[in-house]
Amino acid sequence: MSDVKDLYQELIVDHSKRPRNFGTLEQADHEATGHNPLCGDKVTVYVKVEDGVVQDVHFQGVGCAISTASASLMTERIKGKPVAEAEALFKEFHDLVTTGNTQPGAMEHLGKLQAFSGVKEFPLRVKCATLAWHTFRAALHGEEPDLSADD
Amino acid sequence: MATVETSKPARPAATTAPPLDVHKIRADFPVLQQLVYGKPLIYLDNAATAQKPRVVLDAINRFYGEQCANVHRGVHRLSQLATDEYEGSRAKIQRFIGAAASREIVFVRGATEAMNLVASSFAQKFIQEGDEVLITGLEHHSNIVPWQFVRDQRGAKLRVAPINDAGEVLLDEFEKLLTDRTKIVAVSHVSNALGTVVPIREIIRMAHARNVPVLIDGAQALPHCRVNVQELDCDFYAFSGHKLYGPTGVGVLYGKARWLEAMPPYQGGGDMIREVTFEKSSYNTLPYKFEAGTPNIAGGIGLGAAIDYLESVGMERIAAYEHELLEYATERVQGIPGLRIIGTAREKAGVLSFVMEYAHPHDVGSILDRDGIAVRAGHHCAMPVMDRFGIAGTTRASFAFYNTFEEADALAASLRKVQEVFG
């Protein structure tokens, strides 16, 4: 059994109240909007990619603390990273919030994102944590965000 | 709702009947006897579905264990028993809501199907291009979307009477929207999102003054108060069994016989016909004309048991107790910094909906959940109501007569934890 404080760690509360990289991004060349019908969360992710690197990434939207903090921490973490690395990170993050079974070394890559480890104890909130990442991926590939795998 | 004095005693006021013994009642509900995350379950999601007393579970078990058979068909003993029990439930429902005849009681899947039945069947017969359907700004999606189908299929117009900042229907505006083209009025009796008790007597009077029939969505009202459809003089009244302490998958459409007689069948199949050839079919009498296929027999029987149970407690006592409880809970949460109640109608039933300025409803819901408190968070299938208040959703605590004043205290204490985390 886990306490709510495991879910709402200080870092998450802080990013939910003061989201970083919040707002549109004029020079974005990729964008997508994702919805989480359960919470009514809505997030638009703007990405600028150059030479296979995420030069800049912003987000805008409304949502619960988990989805807002997740989007904020995602943008911090992937800015300046090669696209392939960002996508690999999503895989690790996804494992963290769904099963908690991460590959060796994943925790180090995840860094601050480990704050979301409490989410796995709250299965109904997994989609809140993954919404921004699904939306980021959809923006890169020009697709609609697909959260159905996290049902 | 009337302002509550802080000195109000945590006990229901004396009514004509002796007050309700909530601890004795709780013992009748098996599901309430459990721990959630090691804490006693505090179930405050009754507007979504109510818990079932043991007598309902027993009735369902008895049907499947001792007398399972199809109804209205068999020549054998079990079919006779099943039919007697199922039709007996229909008669209980008729008495419970004060209908003139049991043929005015149509079994359906739930309030949603009842609303769809009326929208579809009434519209086929009575709604032409340019006609109007009038609803209010308080409606659940199940009283909006079926009429949008009618609008799109029949070329009708959907009119919406606005609500004020308290979540009350503006009756003057409602009356102005009644025109010579209005063919039906469809309104909820109690708002599921806000708890507003809608003055349906006034609405029915206004509509009938123009010969417009009225469909009442009673899903959130019938569990909380005595309803008499003949006194109300409504033309249709829809409700769900599962919100009335009965099983899921069963509900009722009450309709005045003259309307039901005039309306075409909703679905075709067994039981709803008199004679079938490949050329044509003739239809069964009421209510069977609207009951195609094998019905939810166990559900109907379970609903009858739920009604017996409610009658044994007494709807008047239930209403009086719940009124006190809602006022008490409202008073307890009102002082929490940053908490704003959404829906402050003078008359409310069962529902306490609110937002907290520093926390999203789902975060509130998750924190309450870990204290064993079950609430609903979100738009409550009433997105236009949320839009009216400029919010994405609320946290909704909804009460039943098995909830206690101590549980309202626990709700307030848990909400203060939300304030600790996010405030």
> How large is the ipTM?
0.90
Tens digit of each residue's pLDDT (9 = 90 or more) over B130-178 = 999 999 999 999 999 999 999 999 999 999 999 999 999 999 999 999 9
Confidence of residue B4 (pLDDT cuts 50, 70, 90): very low
pLDDT, position B223 = 98
Interface-testing mutation among B370, B373, B385, B414, with chain A (most A C-beta atoms within 10 A): B370
pLDDT tens digits for B49-93? Answer: 999 999 999 999 999 999 999 998 888 999 999 999 999 999 999
CA dist A13 and A118 (Å) reads 13
Question: Which tokens is A55 given?
Answer: 């030069």
Q: What pLDDT is stored for residue B407 in this prediction?
A: 98
- Which residues of chain B does A128 touch, with a Cβ-Cβ cutoff of 8 Å? 362
A100-139 residues touching B, CB cutoff 8 A:
122, 124-125, 128
What pLDDT does B14 receive? 45
Count of other CB atoms within 10 angstroms of residue B336 = 17
pLDDT per residue over B245-255, tens digit each?
Answer: 999 999 999 99
d(CA A146, CA A143): 9
Helix axes B297-313, B315-334, angle to 10 degrees: 80
Least confident of A83-97, A109-123, B6-20, B111-125: B6-20
**Can you list the positions of beta strands (E) in B93-248?**
105-108, 132-136, 157-161, 182-188, 214-217, 236-240
Three-state DSSP class for residue B5: coil
Does B15 score more than 90 pLDDT?
A: no
What pLDDT does B73 receive? 80
For residues B288-317, average pLDDT: 97
pLDDT of residue B305: 98
Chain B positions in Cβ-Cβ contact with residue A64 (cut-off 8 Å): 360-363
Alpha carbon distances (Å) from B156 to A114, B78, B124, B134, B213 = 55, 48, 12, 11, 16
Q: How far is the C-alpha of A105 from the C-alpha of B79, rounded, in Å?
A: 66
Comparing alpha-carbon positions, the chain A residue that sits nearest to B378 is A39
pTM (two decimals): 0.92
Q: What is the mean pLDDT of residues A56-74?
A: 96
pLDDT, mean over chain B: 95
pLDDT at B48 over 90: yes
Contact (CB<8Å) B358/A39: no
Contacts of B414 (CB under 8 A, 6+ apart): B367, B368, B371, B373
Tell me what the mean pLDDT of segment B382-411 comes to.
Answer: 96
pLDDT at B96 over 50: yes
* 3-state DSSP percent of chain B in helix, strand and coil, to 5: 40, 20, 40
Q: Give Cα separations from B32 to B56, B398, B402 (angstroms).
A: 15, 15, 9
- In this complex, do A1 and B358 lie within 8 Å of one another by their Cβ atoms? no
Neighbours of A59 (CB within 10 A): 30
Query: Would you place residue B5 in the very low, low, confident or very high pLDDT band (cuts 50, 70, 90)?
Result: very low
As a whole number of angstroms, the distance between CA B152 and CA B258 comes to 27
Taking residues B236-240, report their average pLDDT.
98
State how beta strands B105-108 and B251-255 pair: antiparallel
Asked whether residue B180 carries a pLDDT value surpassing 80, the answer given is: yes
| Distance in angstroms (rounded) separating the CA atoms of residues A13 and A110 | 18
Q: How confident is the model at residue A143 (pLDDT cuts 50, 70, 90)?
A: confident
Q: Nearest to residue B192, comparing CAs of B22, B18, B386?
A: B386
Residue A151 has pLDDT above 80, yes or no: no
- For position B16, what pLDDT does the model report? 57
The pLDDT tens digits of the residues spanning A4-40 come to 888 999 999 999 999 999 999 999 999 999 998 777 7
Mean pLDDT of A78-85: 97
User: B19-36: per-residue pLDDT in tens?
Assistant: 899 999 999 999 999 999
